[in-house]
Chains A and B, each alone.
Chain A
Amino acid sequence: MKKILIIEDDQIVSNVYRNKLAVEGYEVEVALDGETGLKLTRSFQPDGIVLDLMLPKMSGVDVIKEIRGENDFTKLPIIVFSNTYLTNLVQDAWKAGATKCVSKINCSPKDLLDLVRRTIGDPVAPVRPKAESASAGKPSAYVSEADAEFQAELRKTLIASLPGTLAVLRTSLKSLVKSETEVVRLKHIHELYRRIHAVNGNAGIAGLVPIAHMAAALEALLKELYENPKNINASTLRTIAAAVDFLGFLFERSTQSDKQEIPPASILVVDDEAISRRAIIYALEKAQLQSISVEDPNDAFKLLSENQFDLVFLDVDMPGMNGYELCTKLRNLPLHRKTPVVFITGLGDFDNRTSSMMAGGNDFIAKPFLFIELTVKALIHVLRGKLQPAR
């Protein structure tokens, strides 16, 4: 019998995966932190490991490095659960010796099972005919139906817990905003980060893709702020608050529709400066959001006159026509009366919101922005526009 070690600190996620793999015939052990995972690797001698990267006591990347440093485990398959928005961390995991990296955002228990089969092998050694394995002998329609039922049950359970989760997130956010010292602020950032990490994992296994996406992006922002507290400012705190608020919107909507995919969106970026444009496009690509960028505000207005966009990023200070002027003009276009507009402005100007409000802007982000902060903002505006009923 093939042995699988799951190293995952979220008990709901680890239990769901453990049960799924055990039902299929694997022998499964679970470790809830990195250190225990490493010890169990040595004692349990698994045929493969399923590893979360964000672990207490020892990070997932360090676990991989330790494992790969031991002769017995140089070729041991390690499937890593990662956060798509933590690009550098995923790269570190590859470098350390991960065999496969899979995003938590859309990894159902069945997806994990398929991946384990492909990477580690069927639960029993190939002495037995393949058809004897737990599900392979059953008609595929039966298996799909059972998986769908299992998935539906998971989703139902998670949805029932969402109001309580939201209340806890809001309490954490309130404590963060009220923090008066950096030490306390960091403590609350970390607490919120752990909670959002759990939301990401739970939503991912339940197939609640928009919630998982939003939580994954926010988790990456919180991690960045925890590791680089100098980036905690009025802009980033405002973005965190908006993201928690938007999660509340997604939680409510999770009970109303079965459509759980991220819809495609088109975004216009207007900035006269090439490097800033590149940075914005990069931040949008983190969420697989397509964009068109232009440097001339007049060209932008022409594009806006002829095309629908789901979101517009506007630099404020541009020659010929500034961002506020362009925003005022675009609000007169029937296509863009309600299109979200985010101004990119200097941190020093961040508190001066009057011009933006007068021009019809919806939001700000301070330059130099964290790439992940812009990603979070873009996701909030695009998803809200796509998912809320037309007014």
Chain B
Amino acid sequence: MNTNSNAKNEMNPAAQTAPSNNPSAPADDVVPVEMERLNELTEGDADSIRELIDMFYKQTTQQLEQLGVAVRANKADDVRRVAHSCAGASATLGMVRFVPLLRDLEKQGASGTLTNAAQVYEEAVREFKLIQNYLATRLNSATP
């Protein structure tokens, strides 16, 4: 069994699950990120979490740019494709409030009619910023 007492788990899960004091965090009961999924995927290793989050930020920033272009150009299939990919990664990492917005865009794209895609897109961009703020607060509070 690949476990030992010097396991790379150096983050304190208790600290990671403490409520955020971030003033820009949404007032909703639902936090933007299910930290359990991130922790499980990285086995709680601080460096792995940061690496994964960096990957997510880069990928999502690029995808949101592509989505913005597709929405403005009214290219429904591009909206569907990019929103689908972005939703998959976000769901894998437990971005629970971001995913429904992307699924909405995916659905609108699949239907061929971008009814209120511009508005949903703006909400998704805002939610992505909230995720970044939330994670910044959480990861900083977990640093010794």
CB-CB under 8 A from B93, the residues of chain A are: 275
Known: A91-B9, A275-B93, A317-B84. A103 touches B41 (CB 8 A): no
Contact with A along B76-101 (1 / 0, CB 8 A): 00000100110011011110000100
The answer on a CB contact under 8 Å between B1 and A273 is no
Contact with A along B26-52 (1 / 0, CB 8 A): 000000000001011101100000001
Within 8 A of B (CB), among A276-321: 276, 278-279, 282, 315, 317, 319
Q: How large is the interface on A (under 10, 10 to 19, 20 to 34, 35 or more residues)?
A: 20 to 34
A110 at the binding interface (Cβ < 8 Å): no
Known: A84-B1, A94-B3, A275-B52. A367 touches B91 (CB 8 A): yes
Report the Cα distance A87→B99, complex, angstroms: 26
The answer on a CB contact under 8 Å between B7 and A279 is no
Q: How far apart are A108's CB and chain B's nearest CB, in angstroms?
A: 15
The answer on a CB contact under 8 Å between A276 and B88 is yes
B5 at the binding interface (Cβ < 8 Å): yes
Within 8 A of B (CB), among A98-145: 98, 101-103
B55 at the binding interface (Cβ < 8 Å): yes
B85 contact from A88, A102, A317, Cβ within 8 A: A317
The answer on a CB contact under 8 Å between B84 and A103 is no
CB-CB under 8 A from A91, the residues of chain B are: 3, 7, 9, 43-44
CB-CB under 8 A from B84, the residues of chain A are: 317, 346
A368 at the binding interface (Cβ < 8 Å): yes
The answer on a CB contact under 8 Å between B89 and A317 is no
A236 at the binding interface (Cβ < 8 Å): no
The answer on a CB contact under 8 Å between B81 and A319 is yes
Count of chain B residues near A, Cβ 8 A? 27
The answer on a CB contact under 8 Å between B91 and A278 is no
A272 contact from B4, B55, B85, Cβ within 8 A: B85
The answer on a CB contact under 8 Å between A275 and B81 is no
The answer on a CB contact under 8 Å between B56 and A275 is yes
Within 8 A of B (CB), among A364-391: 367-368, 371
Q: How far apart are A236's CB and chain B's nearest CB, in angstroms?
A: 15
Known: A278-B52, A371-B40. A90 touches B3 (CB 8 A): yes
The answer on a CB contact under 8 Å between B40 and A273 is no
Question: In the complex, what residue of chain A is closest to B93 when comparing beta carbons?
Answer: A275
A254 at the binding interface (Cβ < 8 Å): no
Report the Cα distance A371→B81, complex, angstroms: 24
The answer on a CB contact under 8 Å between A275 and B92 is yes
Report the Cα distance A91→B81, complex, angstroms: 39
Q: How far apart are A175's CB and chain B's nearest CB, in angstroms?
A: 29
The answer on a CB contact under 8 Å between A87 and B40 is yes
A339 at the binding interface (Cβ < 8 Å): no
A101 contact from B3, B39, B85, Cβ within 8 A: B3
Q: How far apart are B98's CB and chain A's nearest CB, in angstroms?
A: 12
CB-CB under 8 A from B81, the residues of chain A are: 317, 319
CB-CB under 8 A from B4, the residues of chain A are: 94
From A98, A102, A282, residue with most partner B Cβ within 10 Å: A282
CB-CB under 8 A from A315, the residues of chain B are: 88
CB-CB under 8 A from B39, the residues of chain A are: 88
CB-CB under 8 A from B55, the residues of chain A are: 274-275, 278
A102 contact from B1, B37, B52, B56, Cβ within 8 A: B1
Within 8 A of B (CB), among A245-281: 272-276, 278-279
The answer on a CB contact under 8 Å between A94 and B7 is yes
CB-CB under 8 A from A82, the residues of chain B are: 1, 3
Which residues of B are at the interface with A, using a C-beta cutoff of 8 A? 1, 3-5, 7, 9, 37, 39-41, 43-44, 52, 55-56, 59, 81, 84-85, 88-89, 91-94, 99, 103
Given contacts A90-B3, A94-B3, A273-B85, 19 further A-B contacts (CB under 8 A): A82-B1, A87-B40, A88-B39, A88-B40, A91-B44, A101-B3, A103-B1, A272-B85, A273-B88, A273-B89, A274-B55, A275-B92, A278-B52, A317-B84, A346-B84, A348-B103, A367-B92, A368-B91, A371-B40
